[in-house]
Amino acid sequence: MLKSIICDIDGVLLHDNNPLPGAKEFIQRLQRTGRKFVLLTNYPSQTAQDLAHRMNQSGLAVTPDNFYTSAMATADFLKSQTKENKKAFVIGEGALVHELYQIGFTITDVNPDFVILGETQTYNVDMIQKAVTFIKNGARFIATNPDIAGPSNRPACGALAAPIERMTRRHPFYIGKPNPYIIRAALRHLKDHSEQTIFIGDNMETDILAGVQI
């Protein structure tokens, strides 16, 4: 029997912060029937609290517990992979930094073990230069998501990764869709199994590709 729903946000429930037709009724039905659900996003720049506020402002009443982001998935991945060597040079907004602090990482630009790339509106040459130097010196390159452009066509993580990739000739390990890891992590967040869960998305290159790999 179907128990849970994992649902993308942008393009499925919202478009430019406006609810799409049927979105409000969909959320209300999930809540009324007691279905477990999580709203999943590849974008790492907002916390679950930020996203809940955004949705509530759009007329969709949900709580922070109903969200799972690529920043959260990145932290969960690193927590499972590392017991020591928890130093990272981070290019990203406060939501990503918050998740890394939560799992005991030190954010530094002195001999980091990881270069972790998210999304930021303050990207600059100094950040690129430091990231390239650290990666060439052996730091592991992790990125939250491969999307090239986000809402309102702002440059997303994949675009920001491009110059670092070209200069180091190393591809980051992307956590977000289409990597099925983020779906599995969302399932763990729900405490449910893929056989009892439906994943809803709108992008063939990210959502659907990740979904069919579960």
Is 192 designated active site? no
Amino acid identity for residue 185 in this structure:
A
Q: Which residues contact 59 (CB under 8 A, 6 or more apart)?
A: 19, 24
Structure tokens at 159: 């675009």
Cross-strand bridge partners of residue 104 = none
- 76 tagged catalytic: no
Reported in sequence order, the residue ranges of the chain that DSSP labels E, i.e. its strands, are 4-8, 14-15, 18-19, 36-41, 67-69, 87-91, 106-107, 114-117, 140-143, 173-174, 197-200
**Nearest C-alpha neighbor of 133 from the set 158, 160, 164:** 164
CB neighbour burial string for 109-140, b if at least 16 within 10 angstroms, e if fewer: eeebbbbbbbbbeebeeebeebbbebbeeebb
User: Which tokens hold the place of 197?
Assistant: 């869960």
Catalytic residue, candidates 10, 50, 192, 202: 10
Phi/psi of residue 146, nearest 5 degrees: -90, 5
Residues that are catalytic: 8, 10
